[in-house]
Amino acid sequence: MTVHSLPLSKPLLVLLPNEIFFDIISTFDHWTIKRLSTVCKRLRTQCLPYLFRDIHVSFTPHGLLALRGLSQSDEICQHVVWVTYSVTDILDPRVADAQKLREELYTSRAYAEDETEHYYLKNGNMKTFPAYESILEAFLPVGASQRNVLGKSLDMDVVSSALCRFPKVSKVTLRYDMPPIVPKFIPMLLSLRIKPEESLRHHLKVLAGGIRQTRDCSITIRTVEFGGSSKAWGSVNIDTSAELLRDILEDVEVLRLFRANAILTGAYQLPPFGHLREIDMCDFPVIDRPAFQKFVKGHLNTLRAIHWHKVSVNSDFLRRVTQHPNVSQTVIFQPCVFRQRVGVDKLLLTRIT
């Protein structure tokens, strides 16, 4: 049958060799590929590796149950390579209870004085202090969703069991952000959350459990990325979570940090990782330079590249830090890992034998 004799209802793309088809759809965005996959069964099969190569999971019942569903599909799980888990600060458990929110939190002097001052200074009118109804509408759904997850240990169970169901998974991202609250309630949010260290420790524990399960199944997570908002990462300390970070990074080859200065600070406390070959850093200050220098020197046997953008270090400093008789240094210019439209420097390290 020639192309010209095909019925019009038959998509011509199905006649293309797989190599050409994959070259074409690799230029499409996700939503275009998703629409293309609905045309016919064969196109769906061909689109699956692109549709489910990267999956995003949220710290919500809906997101975690969706992850469980994907992991139980033999047709889909074989294509997953990269899992992004988006988490937030955990709110005080009482936020999920309307009565406790009103009686114990809304009227609490622990934040009411600060909140009154904040709204007064910003708006010049004491009447702008938010009414209880607006607080209830903003916080109750978030608190209830979190209680649903935590009360059933849904995140711990699903992430641990799902990751090891993806035989090709090699990259995991943890995005740490503030809860989805409108900006005018952010000052109040800071008083209604539990300690940031406790929130992050919980999420690291979930991720560490999942990575341990993949390791037991002979699946290696080679790239670990931490990202999110500067407001979330800027107020957290992970000194008490060093053992969890060690579990997460035990097999890491590429460590990517976007605004996650706390992770780098935590890594200073750990023994060198045996396989680390690349560090990508963006949008946070390297405050403790002696500790950073010690960290880099401890990985010179394996380290092959350092990528940096807006991290308060420059190529001269990194050249000094990585100077070694058996290592040659080359600085190249390429797109930022985290911001593709921005060109940045990357230091390449080559062992001289």
Each residue's pLDDT tens digit, 191-247? 889 999 999 999 999 999 999 999 999 999 999 999 999 889 987 888 889 999 999
Each residue's pLDDT tens digit, 252-299? 999 999 999 999 999 999 999 999 999 999 999 898 999 999 999 999
**Segment 97-102 mean pLDDT:** 86
The single-letter code of the amino acid at 127 is: K
Q: Is the pLDDT of residue 349 over 80?
A: yes
> What is the pLDDT at residue 109?
40
The single-letter code of the amino acid at 301 is: N
Within 13 Å of residue 282, how many CA atoms lie on the same side as its CB? 21
> What is the pLDDT at residue 49?
83
Within 13 Å of residue 1, how many CA atoms lie on the same side as its CB? 7
- In this structure, how many other beta carbons lie within 10 angstroms of the beta carbon of residue 81? 15
The single-letter code of the amino acid at 281 is: M
Q: Is the pLDDT of residue 51 over 70?
A: yes
Q: Is the pLDDT of residue 41 over 90?
A: no
Q: Is the pLDDT of residue 184 over 80?
A: no
The pair phi, psi for residue 83, each rounded to 5°, is: -115, 125
Structure tokens at 119: 């709204």
Q: Is the pLDDT of residue 35 over 60?
A: yes
**Segment 71-77 mean pLDDT:** 92
CB contact at 8 A, 105 and 98: no
Q: Residue 353 and residue 343: Cα distance in Å, rounded? A: 31
Q: Is the pLDDT of residue 8 over 90?
A: no
DSSP-assigned letters across all residues of 4-35 = GGS-TTS-GGGGS-HHHHHHHHTTS-HHHHHH
Q: How many residues does the chain have?
A: 353
| pLDDT, mean over the chain | 86
> What is the pLDDT at residue 28?
81
